[in-house]
Amino acid sequence: MIRLDNLSLSVSSFPMGPLCLTVGEGDFFVLMGPTGAGKTLLLEAIAGLVPVADGRIFIGARDVTRLPPERREVGIVYQDQSLFPHLTVRENIRYGLRFKNRTGPGTEALLDRLVEELRIGHLLERRPLHLSGGERQRVALVRALAVQPSLLLLDEPLSALDPAFREEMGGLLRRIRNSTGATFFMVTHDFTEALALGNRGAVMNRGRLEQVGEVRDIFLRPASPFVARFVGMKNLFRARFQGPHALVRNLRMRLPRPQGRESGKVAFRPEHVEIWPESARAPHPNLFSGTIAECLDHGFTCRLTVSVDSVRLTAHLPAREAHRMGLCAGRRVTVAVPPEAIHVI
Ligand SMILES: Nc1ncnc2c1ncn2[C@@H]1O[C@H](COP(=O)(O)OP(=O)(O)OP(=O)(O)O)[C@@H](O)[C@H]1O
């Protein structure tokens, strides 16, 4: 549905690309990356809002590289919502419909459904200035979805909503994507959102795509140390390989499979590290005795740092579990790292 063919942009002093990317029809694609990585710029390039220095952009079968935004047939929902300040909510939504020449009973029925589901019925006669950030975001979503674009570009569309409503709107976006078959391309900073909504995605860093693939793969099998750190793989170590084992300093860890090279990096998620009482016999090959160096309470979860010889392992546990076990700094524990949780980079 979207194909970027060696795309380069040069906006001010920020060089981007060359990028190659294919987003399939009907994908819910999530673009992640640290602040300033170039995510919004890429979205804007696809929409036709920033000039292309080199390469091509295809949407469907059409080469849209030189087409103006209004001829690309994409919807866009911005972080700052970009509603017309002098029009009411109703007029803002209708403007999009008229502009795209979408009329008829089907459109009216969809509009009614969207107004109801995004709960903006009571806002229709107001102007954007008199709406909260979350209300403006909902109006912008209705305006973009009402024209039934085959490609919808979303720049953090849920960021101004409270957590409960955010989850609900995420569910709504997924339902709309499923029922329309449209392709969604969404920038997000929220990992939970990326995992819950996206089927495919990418991580961007300094104007380049570090990894493209299934969202779960990005979180479980990062392709580079940068992606591993970005997606929260707190345990990332240099290692030497000996057949099916990795040596991280003095720790010998069993790997899921033998490695054909001498050295590299191993990474595993803190959520996959298990903490057992010192005396327990955990059913794992990778068991290490250590001392809790730090126990940080995050409310519903605890982050533990455990010193095992000179290696510091990080584990995330449900807070209830950590309290039940009486975990605190100085306690001796057994740490288990399931081999299948270890990813080799
Ligand atoms: N119109 C512009 N003119 C010049 N520089 C720009 C323009 N838009 C963005 N930039 C610069 O390009 C870089 C990438 O910006 P971009 O907004 O794409 O980042 P981002 O990944 O979306 O960040 P965030 O997550 O903070 O929204 C930044 O250094 C920014 O200052």
Q: What is the mean pLDDT of residues 7-15?
A: 86
Q: Which residues pair with 294 in a beta bridge?
A: 305
Same-domain status, 284 and 252 = yes
Domain at 130, CATH number: 3.40.50.300
Q: Establish whether residue 33 lines the binding site of ligand 1, counting it when its CB lies within 6 angstroms of any ligand atom.
A: yes
Indicate if the pLDDT at residue 105 is higher than 70: no
Asked whether the bond before 285 is cis by omega within 30 degrees of 0, the reply is no
Distances (CA, A) of 74 to 48, 137, 187: 10, 18, 15
Residue-range definition of the domain harbouring residue 52: 2-225
Q: Domain boundary residue among 175, 205, 225?
A: 225
What's the pLDDT score for residue 101?
A: 64
Of the pLDDT bands very low, low, confident and very high (cuts 50, 70, 90), residue 100 is: low
Other Cβ atoms within 10 Å of 298 Cβ, number: 9
Q: Are residues 33 and 128 in the same domain?
A: yes
Torsion-angle region of 323 (φ positive above 0: left; ψ -120 to 50: alpha; else: beta): alpha
**Residue at token pair 């740490």:** 335
Percent of the chain with pLDDT over 90: 68
Helix (H) or strand (E) holding 259: none
The CA R_g of the chain, rounded to the nearest whole Å, is 24
Question: How many domains, in total, are found in the chain?
Answer: 2
213 and 241 share a domain? no
pLDDT at 150: 86
Ligand 1 centroid distance, CA of 30 (Å): 18
Shared domain check, 68 and 188 = yes
C-alpha to C-alpha distance for 246 and 253, rounded to whole angstroms: 5
* Percent of the chain whose pLDDT exceeds 70: 97
Atom of ligand 1 nearest to the CA of 38: 18
* 222 C-beta closer than 6 A to ligand 1: no
Find where tokens 């929260």 sit.
Answer: 232
Cα 192 to middle of ligand 1, angstroms: 24
CA-proximal residue: ligand 1, atom 4 (nearest):
12
**Across 239-257, average pLDDT:** 95
How far is the C-alpha of 266 from the C-alpha of 231, rounded, in Å? 15
Cα→Cα distances 27→153, 186, 201, Å = 12, 10, 9
Q: Looking at the structure, do residues 191 and 257 belong to the same domain, yes or no?
A: no
Query: From the CA of 14, how far away is ligand 1's center (Å)?
Result: 8
Higher-pLDDT residue of 102 and 154 is: 154
Q: Do 213 and 319 fall into the same domain?
A: no
How far is it, in rounded angstroms, from Cα 88 to Cα 143?
Answer: 12
- Say what the pLDDT of residue 290 is: 96
For the stretch 34-84, pLDDT in tens is 999 999 999 999 999 999 999 999 999 999 999 998 888 898 887 666 789
Task: Using the predicted structure, report yes or no on whether residue 17 has a pLDDT greater than 90.
Answer: no
Residue 102 pLDDT > 70: no
Looking at the structure, tell me whether residues 106 and 11 fall in a common domain: yes
> Are residues 255 and 329 located together in one domain of the fold?
yes
What is the pLDDT, as a whole number, of residue 226? Answer: 97
* Distance from residue 20's CA to the centre of ligand 1 (Å): 20
The average pLDDT across 114-141 equals 90
| pLDDT tier at 95, thresholds 50, 70, 90 | confident
What ipTM score was computed for the predicted complex, to two decimals? 0.94
Query: Is 156 found in the same domain as 264?
Result: no
Q: Is pLDDT above 90 for 185?
A: yes
Within 13 A of 235's CA, how many CA atoms are on the CB side? Answer: 32
pLDDT-derived band at 108, boundaries 50, 70, 90: confident
Burial classification of residue 45, based on how many CB atoms lie within 10 Å of its CB (0-12 exposed, 13-18 middle, 19 or more buried): buried
CA distance 31 to 184: 11
Task: Give the pLDDT band of residue 7 (cuts 50, 70, 90).
Answer: very high
Residues 127 and 274 in one domain: no
Cα–Cα distance between 143 and 273 in angstroms, integer? 45
Distance 200 CA to ligand 1 centre (A): 23
Distance 123 CA to ligand 1 centre (A): 32
Position 328 scores a pLDDT of: 94
Mean pLDDT of 23-31: 96
220 and 328 inside one domain: no
Does residue 188's CB lie within 6 angstroms of at least one atom of ligand 1?
no
**CATH number, position 270:** 2.40.50.100
